[in-house]
Amino acid sequence: MKFTILGAGSSYTPELLDEMIVRRESLPVDELVLYDIDEKRLEIMTGFCRRYSAKRGFEIQIRGTKDLDDALYGAAFVDTQIRVGGNRQRVKDEKIPLKYGLIGQETTGAGGMMKAFRTIPVMLDVAEHMVKDSPDGWIINYTNPAGLVTEAVTRYSSANIAGFCSGGIFPKMWAKQSMGIDYSRVQYDYVGLNHLNFISNITIDGRPVTEEEFDTLARTNDDVGADIQKLLGCLTSPYLQYYYKTGQRVEELRKKPQTRGEYVQELEKTVFAGYADPENADIPEALYKRGGGGYSEVAMNFVNAVYNNIDTEMVVNVPNRGAVSFLPDDGVVEINCLVNRRGMSPIHKIHVPAPCWGLIAEVKNYEMLAVEAAVEGSVTKMKQALLAHPLVREYSIVEKLVPELLEGSKEFLPQFHLTQTS
């Protein structure tokens, strides 16, 4: 099996390799191809991954390449984790909205939209190459904002793609952390969009959780808080903090001495110094300060389900196709699916918690307009998307914000022209 990682210069790449080592008996990966446009990072990561696998007795061919066709040709699975413009652009996505009193965050709100605008054209190019080089292969997308990227590829390409986020297993992680319960014992209905999810009908060993157990899980998700989740009657994605605590979060972000992107830039200097050390064959401890863990486990669960044709329930970003009745069929949702060699089959959602469906619909409206704006290079649809977004919405701010956002990412937006009006 040939497995390719696009954006292999990411500090998370060794976690995927580690998961392959754990599953070596069931998933016979014999070639790991690392692709990145950053030659220095690619060289460092290729060397580290070779040392890491050798220390653990994992006999596999590992090579780096800057040739996209070489990376994709014949690949059974392609994990995408790219960041167009790097963390330098992320910092702009964080700072520009904050100037206008808006949430400055890499996947949520106006900043998330700009990340999508830079990323979607690149991912559509990857999808086009995938159709040519490996038409039966699967793109496993972790590139954020995952929902918008996955929707763009499904609407404008015939490539096979499954969009993922580690958030799908967060309730299992919370149960293990707070109650010592194994993942397999915890089940739930998961409905919404990437980074905008609601978790209900939670069971342990098939029985509904008690009020006390729900409270324990809700307290573990402390970004949102137990009081809000108890009021809603369901658990939520941690990213709902930006919707339910908007003013508080804006003030906190403004007062911080540096943005999250600036912090990550500094942290990665330490992480990559560890990766670059020719005597080191272990993942640097500094990586675990960055957060975002769990995604490699989810990715390889998908590989296992497809490659070995094992029916597996997973949370996936997929076209709606009637699964959530009040959303368009071609809009991508993040919901429970049955996964096997045939792909993903969304599990129809009979119940969506009443306090939640309006927000889901609003943000889906924004997402679909944002995807179209990214593909068409339409300033008009960009403005419409921001007006639809519950974290932006105000016309006078949109008119000032749009030119500054476009100027900040100008070198990465060939589809946009600052003077165009449509």
Domain ranges of the chain: 2-163
Q: Which amino acid is at 304?
A: N
Known active-site residue 35? no
Whole-number Å distance between alpha carbons of 200 and 153: 29
Token pair belonging to 128? 């086009």
Q: Tens digit of pLDDT for each residue in 126-156?
A: 999 999 999 999 999 999 999 999 999 999 9
Q: 350 pLDDT exceeds 90?
A: no
Q: What is the mean pLDDT of residues 167-185?
A: 96
- 420 has a pLDDT exceeding 60: no
Residue 355, preceding bond cis, omega within 30 degrees?
no
pLDDT in the model for residue 291: 66
**pLDDT value at residue 294:** 74
| pLDDT (0 to 100) of residue 372 | 98
CB 164 within 8 A of CB 295: yes
Closest CA to 163 of 39, 26, 379, 337: 337
C-beta of residue 78 within 8 angstroms of C-beta of residue 4 = yes
Mean of per-residue pLDDT scores for the chain: 95
Please give the average per-residue pLDDT across 34-49, as a whole number: 98
**pLDDT computed for residue 349 by the predictor:** 83
- For the 2-163 domain, the top CATH level (class) is alpha beta
Q: What is the pLDDT of residues 376-387, one digit of tens each?
A: 999 999 999 999
Radius of gyration, CA atoms only, the chain:
21
Global pTM reads 0.95
Question: Which stretches does DSSP call E strand in 253-367?
Answer: 312-319, 332-340, 343-346
- Identify the pLDDT of residue 419: 45
Q: How far apart are CA 314 and CA 190, in angstroms?
A: 10
User: Residue 123 corresponds to which amino acid?
Assistant: M
**Contact (Cβ atoms closer than 8 angstroms) between residue 330 and residue 319:** yes
Q: What's residue 221's pLDDT?
A: 95
Per-residue pLDDT tens digits for 290-323: 766 678 999 999 999 999 999 999 999 999 999 9
Residue pair 188/202 in contact (Cβ under 8 Å)? The answer is yes
For the sheet with 343-346, list strands across it: 61-65, 31-35, 2-6, 77-80, 138-141, 160-163, 312-319, 332-340, 343-346
Please determine, for residue 421, whether its predicted confidence score (pLDDT) is greater than 50. no
For residue 385, which of 104, 100, 110, 97 has the smallest C-alpha distance? 110
Q: Exactly one of 35, 52, 142, 239 is catalytic; name it.
A: 239
Q: What is the mean pLDDT of residues 22-30?
A: 95
Q: Are 86 and 9 in contact, with CB atoms under 8 Å apart?
A: no
The predicted pLDDT at position 367 comes to: 98
Q: Is 109 helix (H, G, I), strand (E, B) or coil?
A: helix
Give the contacts of 9 (CB within 8 A, at least 6 positions apart): 36, 38, 41, 42, 44, 45
